[in-house]
Structure 1
């Protein structure tokens, strides 16, 4: 594996972020503490690669929110800190929220959110997860990041600043855990890899752990397929404006939904093939895939989601990078469609697979901008070189961030010799479920139970405190009987590319 490059700053071409003034002093002090901790770690590490049990002590002191500003703006990012009513258990949980659109997102075009998020769903009024952890004695903190969009470097910097603020103004934690969902899971893992002295462990749920380049490459594959099979005029990259990207999405989504009205004919066959190009599931939150019509509806949902990130999401990413980060020159689309998938595609439209693959083979391909690809490391390219425990959770049928993201990261962790610091869990949906309210778990993006969230945190906490990695039975107990956790789940391969080769 190539040597890891220095962590770029919030915009392409800048250097790794640096804190200044008193924050810089705190960073130096923390670095010294990290060196001393590393020496101790060598002596205490066991086969799990984590520190051994820590000595017991009384609850540490906290300044209350009447004494310090538990809400405010720090380095351009709104933040919120929540403190337990009872005794603090000495642990700070730093939450990183998921992707938020930089501009109003179609089709609703609702105003973008800039609220801080100290726990999953907190800013939208869903307080159960955060409250359970507060009741257990955890302190919670979260940021809105200085900017929306694919704000990985922004999120890493905001998290580091918030940890510094908590330590100097609120209390000195005995442990700090990062936890995050979706893009926030990627931010959490990047923080764990790039600033390991800040954390003792991390939890990432439904995270795009393959990184931004592989993810947008897959999005390009789906959009390219839509252009070749449904919308010949579809623009794929280089949008001149946000309005142009929205227009492209509207045209493509309209064609996809029209095809979905023909589940038993050519339209359904086309959508199932497009879904296969990005290795999307044929089950989603609201479609259980019990018959062809349900599978086609799930495929349509997955394809439209990929198109959204491949158009309006791509526009924002290309603005950050100054160019297109994705390419499909040399991509063999025939290799993406398995024999089993082809049989389903062709079941009601004989020969559909071969006709579609011929159209894909004959289209004009897209080349990535090498400078944009290099700069894309600033938007997330986790290496797997963990020095602390990481717990990940993914739904088996995630239509937005496919579960093979976990495979990509495991491959890198194994190559880095860090697989013993990684525990990955997948939840599987029931065999059938109603369209409304949909799957209780296992299908849909980040659709895990509240107990799965709190269980993952508590599982990590036990791992860090004891120095012993969790067993499958412990994970099953922590997540609860209604989580859909399948400890025997076999992670599927990433559909394209080699995780050990740098973009």
Structure 2
């Protein structure tokens, strides 16, 4: 999103490349340009620049979608941040799709462009949302010398290999239980036409299954293997704790969109990796369901439908498994597998009802960081709200200020919900801020560390 805020409307777009001393913006500045890679970038610097630059990484854009540069998660967040004196920068990335290999150098090159024009910042904080949280966490682990701290918002902090493995699980369950006799492919799509055809076919399978109690139970099982919550959209009425039917209807809405991710987005990622980068050999789906927070829902729906859950789990155990291409796994691991080896502070925030990037990904990141011995550098906070990246501007600024406290004092200070909500209220008075006590369940798949 290109932020042409009213406060900046009177400023001319800068084209000169001469360096300017830090903190000496001559009036508010809005600057746009392009990198040698073809990526575009955008920068907003307020007149009262406080010396901190915020490097924003935007979310996923599918092939063919518009690809403008963005430098903040929303217009409202940008307006508040600029009033508080922050400089905002970000690039478009040179390509759409699963472009981490291009996104990270484009983001760092944008930071170089900022330094050329405005001087070296006193502090640089990288932040990003959704897929941009993946880009931000990659910068945190691999380019920590370029930043002081990081903030991932609803990010794919489990890493690339784990992401595609988890996506495969739900797709495998749909095919095995709802379309067992078909030749529907799940991986190795030769092109977008084939992937789109497969996505349309799987959507049809899901739609047809929704018409029967047995089909609905099986959709719930597939959703549980991907940790899709039963309340994932603000437009949905919140179901009761044991209202399995309402929870399943909400999961079904996500499952009708899921084939686009599982097939069309996968094909684009496979084309970069040189083949299929995920597998389900050796996966125990019965154990995975046992650990799922949605196990009781699945069991209740199976009982109501007169289905044997044991038989379906046996079918999953005995179905033809999928192996990965080692070279494709190596590509994904080289570019976006997380070791947890943080050397600068990072805060992760996530909504509890995220149907696109389920909140359990935060458990994978927490465990990776803990195993790397860097727990002191990571904190995680949760917003009790349905939806993907459904934060108030105040909640985002509160998270940013929490990272700054850690940088200023060497201590995190309080990341308890009351403290986070108080910071959010200061940044954006009167909004319905909803940081809450929460601990996500374990991530259902091994996350991708060095091994």
Smaller-chain TM-score range?
Answer: 0.7 to 0.9
**In 2, Cα distance between equivalents of 1:302 and 1:410:** 26
Secondary structure at the residue paired with 1:284?
coil
How far did residue 65 of structure 1 move? Answer: 7.3
Partner of 1:70: 31
Aligned length, in residue pairs: 415
1:116-127 matched pairs, under 5 angstroms = 116-121=69-74, 127=75
1:208-287 matched pairs, under 5 angstroms = 208-231=156-179, 232-262=182-212, 265-285=213-233, 286-287=235-236
**Structure 2 stretches of 5 or more lacking a match?**
1-18, 426-430
How far did residue 71 of structure 1 move? Answer: 0.3
Partner of 1:455: 398
Asked if the contact 1:345/1:352 (under 8 Å) is kept, the reply is no
* Larger RCO, structures 1/2 (Cα 8 Å, 6+ apart): 1
Among candidates 368, 374, 398, match of residue 324 of structure 2:
368
Secondary structure at the residue paired with 1:216?
helix
Asked if the contact 2:151/2:347 (under 8 Å) is kept, the reply is yes
How far did residue 63 of structure 1 move? Answer: 5.6
Among candidates 63, 66, 82, match of residue 113 of structure 1:
66
Asked if the contact 2:23/2:118 (under 8 Å) is kept, the reply is no
Partner of 2:153: 205
1:16-165 matched pairs, under 5 angstroms = 60-62=23-25, 70-75=31-36, 76-84=38-46, 86-103=47-64, 112-121=65-74, 127-165=75-113
Partner of 1:479: 424
Asked if the contact 2:339/2:449 (under 8 Å) is kept, the reply is no
Partner of 1:496: 445
Secondary structure at the residue paired with 1:387?
coil
Secondary structure at the residue paired with 1:224?
helix
1:376-391 matched pairs, under 5 angstroms = 376-391=332-347
TM-score, length of structure 1 as denominator length: 0.78
1:313-392 matched pairs, under 5 angstroms = 313-338=265-290, 340-392=296-348
Asked if the contact 1:281/1:302 (under 8 Å) is kept, the reply is no
1:396 aligns with 2:352: yes
How far did residue 279 of structure 1 move? Answer: 2.1
Superposed CA deviations along residues 312-331 of structure 1, whole A, max 9, x for unmatched, are 01100110010100111121
Secondary structure at the residue paired with 1:81?
strand
**In 2, Cα distance between equivalents of 1:234 and 1:177:** 44
Secondary structure at the residue paired with 1:82?
strand
**In 1, Cα distance between equivalents of 2:399 and 2:232:** 23
**In 1, Cα distance between equivalents of 2:115 and 2:254:** 42
**Which is further off, 391-400 or 476-485?**
476-485
* RMSD, aligned CA: 2.2
**In 2, Cα distance between equivalents of 1:152 and 1:64:** 34
TM-score, length of structure 2 as denominator length: 0.87
Asked if the contact 1:393/1:425 (under 8 Å) is kept, the reply is yes
Asked if the contact 1:193/1:386 (under 8 Å) is kept, the reply is yes
Among candidates 122, 140, 143, match of residue 174 of structure 1:
122
How far did residue 257 of structure 1 move? Answer: 2.0
**In 1, Cα distance between equivalents of 2:45 and 2:185:** 49
**Structure 1 stretches of 5 or more lacking a match?**
1-25, 27-57, 104-111, 122-126, 429-441
Secondary structure at the residue paired with 1:70?
strand
1:446 aligns with 2:389: yes
Secondary structure at the residue paired with 1:337?
helix
